[in-house]
Structure formats: structure tokens, C-alpha cells
Amino acid sequence: MTECALRLASSSRALSANLRISPTRFSPLRRSLPLTSASLIGKPLFCSHTHRTISVLSTKASMAETVTGKVQVFDSEEELAVSLAKYTADLSEKFCKERDAFTVVVSGGSLIKSLRKLVEPPYIDSIDWSKWHVFWVDERVVPKDHPDSNYLLAYDAFLSKIPIPAGHVYAINDALSAEGAADDYETCLKHLVKSNVVDISKESGFPRFDVMLLGMGPDGHVASLFPGHPLVHEKEKWVTFIKDSPKPPLDRITFTFPVINSSANIALVVAGAGKADVVHQSLGDSKSSDLLPVQMVSPEGELVWFLDKAAASKL
């Protein structure tokens, strides 16, 4: 186990005691912190629902190049969740065979709810959860039992329901300042790259995660990279911090775009009519000259948008 995983596992045990958590089906995690790479041997699930697929072009931030993204529109969020589970399980199986590990980055918000099908048959039993390594693309600098914690959200809805090793879940050190927590998380990632848990991009030199499962805010923000904020232009750091978030809480850490865009796969998961205007601005024929953070998502690998009908209603 890596040094940072040991620290996280130790913190997890202390947190579990403080939270007085009742036993779950898989008790070893116990609201602990580790997330790294995972291998899933998922049996393909035949999806009988219908959806439409649209090819779109997304402009790569500050570059003239374009990359092709795939847009899938589903009749309901329920059908979206079914397809997202199969997508994730298929990638897990692929990377577990290739790397003997699966590195998964998640965001907070409604994305976690959309992962719910992974904890149901067939995936709960067919995925090799022992090879999953889970990370957060951003986190609020609050205690892990705080209602604003992305860790707590993921634990309650997802992590507590799967048999993932506690040492494979990487949460921030919430005892540090925002700047300290960002530096600490980046140091941990560099250690995991050296130990070959996390891959490295030969193209960019930044960590290359197997998949990032990301949501999008109603203002077009991704991670804690907000429209008009100077952090969207950070090009050197792997993980940085923000102390003036437009959305509370103010103090956060976040992956930077060079890390996000070095990913092998990114799924952008957007549901609900409240985000239809931003989806239209990002993918439709909007004439807006302002580039939203979500439009700056342009991975080395494949980008897939998962939209329900409400979110895509203005395309």
C-alpha cells in the first residue's frame, strides 16, 4: 500500500468511529477515503431502450484543433443511468485486462446518483471492484462528514455499497488548508504515477486516468473550474485550489484542465431541463463568443456526452 493510501486508510478508521456508521453489506470501507484504480470483469448488459446518437465538434480550448465527441440522448434519466453503468463496466473490463487496474475519477452533484445502476445486478457481482482506484476531480475543503463533502456524497450513495478496498479510495486531507490539501493531493498522485497505479500521458506528461465521470453545473462549470475564473487557464499544476468559489463553499481543490484533458475517456453526464440552455450553448448553434469551461473539455481519448431528453431539449 502506498504512503498516501496508508494515511488515508488510517484517517478512514478514525472517521468511521466518529460517524458511528451502522454496518453495510460491505463493511471494510466504512466511510473511509481511498480511491484509485479498479478492474471490473463486467458482463455486457443488453440495453433495449432507444436513444439517438449525434456527432458533434467541440473546440479545444485555446487551440485551433477540433475533436469529435459523441452525444447520446436518452428518453429519461433512468435510461441514461442504465447506459452509463454499461459504459463504465465495459471500460473497467478493458482496462483491468490491459493494466490490471482501473482508475476512475468522479465529480460530485447529480453525477453520483446517475452511477446507481453499478451497485445493482449484474454489475455489483460481475465487476472486479478490487482493482478500482477512485479519485475526485474536485472537492470542497470541509470535513468528510460535512453535508457539502463530495466524499460523503459518494460514500453514502455508491462507495458504501461496493466491496472496494479502503486503500483504493483517495480523498483529500481535510485537516489542511485549501492550498495545502491541493499540494498534498498532487503529491499523492505523483506517487501513484511512480508506482504505476496511475498511467502517464506520453503526449502531455500529465496523469492519464482511465475514465473521468463528470457532471456539469448550470453555469457550464466542470470540476471547480468556473466561467471567467483564472484557474481555467492553469497549465502547470496537476491539482490547484480556489478560495473564492462563485458557488459555496468558497474553499475547494480541483484538477486542472491539463489533467482532465489527458484522460483516456471522459463521460459528461447532464440531466434535467435546468441545464438545457448550457447544453445548447455548448453543443448547439449558439452564437455566444464566451467559451464555457465545459467546452474546454477535450480529452486525448474519447469524449461521450450522456444527456437525457430534458437536457437536450434545446438542441
Question: Does 5 score more than 70 pLDDT?
Answer: no
Per-residue model confidence (pLDDT) at position 290 = 78
Helix (DSSP H) and strand (DSSP E) numbers for the chain = 8, 12
**What's the rounded mean pLDDT across residues 297-309?**
96
Cβ-based neighbours of 267, under 8 Å, separated by 6 or more: 84, 87, 88, 211, 212, 213, 214, 304, 305, 306
Which tens digit of pLDDT belongs to each residue from 161-202? 999 999 999 999 999 999 999 999 999 999 999 999 999 999
Mark out the alpha helices in 37-109 (DSSP H runs): 77-99
**What's the rounded mean pLDDT across residues 224-244?**
97
